[in-house]
Amino acid sequence: MLIAPKVLDWFDIYGRKDLPWQKQLLPYPVWISEIMLQQTQVTTVIPYFKRFIERFPTVRDLAEANLDDVLALWTGLGYYARARNLHKTAMMIMQDWAGVMPTRQSDLMTLPGIGRSTAAAIAAICHGEAVAILDGNVKRVIARHFAVGGWPGQSSTLRALWIHAEAQTPNKRIADYTQAMMDLGATVCTARHPACHACPIRSSCSARKTARIDEYPGKKPKKVKPKKSTAMLIVRTRGGDIRLVQRPAQGIWGGLFSFPECPLDELETKLPSSAVSVIKLPAFKHQFTHFELTIQPVLIDIKRRQDVPKVPNGTWLGSNQHPGFGLSRPAERLIKIVTELPFS
């Protein structure tokens, strides 16, 4: 049984058609939106998308931009490899594709950060190529409707989901169907408290028939995260200037600006003799995909910038100065805290 007719009828009435990137359905804004929407809610993405497109309205503008400017606009969205890949891909499009984004899924997949589903979304929505998508929302719809068990991160489960997704993809109205499936998962077949009464394919949904909706898709096997710790050294001048360093391009917070770090047991050896005061701020935890990091912020007040040695890749953020570069999430958080504290 094909679900496309009912899904399309539902989309005509209830589908989202006024999102910022849907105004003309051009490849560039659709690409930007698809990357931003990876593991991020629509409501969170919309203001970031608007600022990003305003600053970089074309592929050329993005390709010619400084990576720091790109990361600055991405600050707060997380998963910063997405921003670095956007910048890298824009440069490749200018160099290898004469400034025009490829139209076919197979060509789009050769570009950094564009996987099978993202490439399909761009090709289907913008060029009408009849290819299946399988983002997080669509995985949930397919898993429940066809009772595909197992965690989608497992290769066998993912293969089964792709088989169903491809079998259901129609040859006509492919752009609408692609958007409809994403909308159905995002607004009706939600992860928690799905609105089954409003679902256009509820009568044929295997999970609903067997009252096992919460079992699909399967949960990721639990794994205990390793725990790590670090001290972040926040050097601040009497005038309110704050010292930052740029992280290496590879690794966590790659290319972003943060605070110098050191192991907790080496903290005493890293404190400058010129410090007016040293205050340990409340420690907090930062969650990564693969580990948990406990951060001990240490506020080090000095009189002048010259009172501490220069550090590699270091810079100073002036008082009331808006950073023109990307910040790690902890740095963004700590800057807000420190600017509220009086100088010792």
Residues marked active site are found at 34
CA distance 61 to 14: 35
Strand partners, 232: 261, 297
Query: What secondary structure, in 3-state letters, does the chain show?
Result: CCCHHHHHHHHHHHCCCCCHHHCCCCHHHHHHHHHHCCCCCHHHHHHHHHHHHHHCCCHHHHHHCCHHHHHHHHCCCCCCHHHHHHHHHHHHHHHHCCCCCCCCHHHHCCCCCCCHHHHHHHHHHHHCCCCCCCCHHHHHHHHHHCCCCCCCCCHHHHHHHHHHHHHHCCCCCHHHHHHHHHHHHHHCCCCCCCCHHHCCCHHHCHHHHCCCHHHCCCCCCCCCCCEEEEEEEEEEECCCCEEEEECCCCCCCCCCEECCEECHHHHHHHCCCCCCEEEECCCEEEECCCCEEEEEEEEEEECCHHHCCCCCCEEEECCCCCCCCCECHHHHHHHHHHCCCCCC
When computed from its CA atoms, the radius of gyration of the chain, rounded to whole angstroms, is 24
**Size (the chain), residues:** 344
Closest CA to 34 of 75, 89, 71, 96: 89
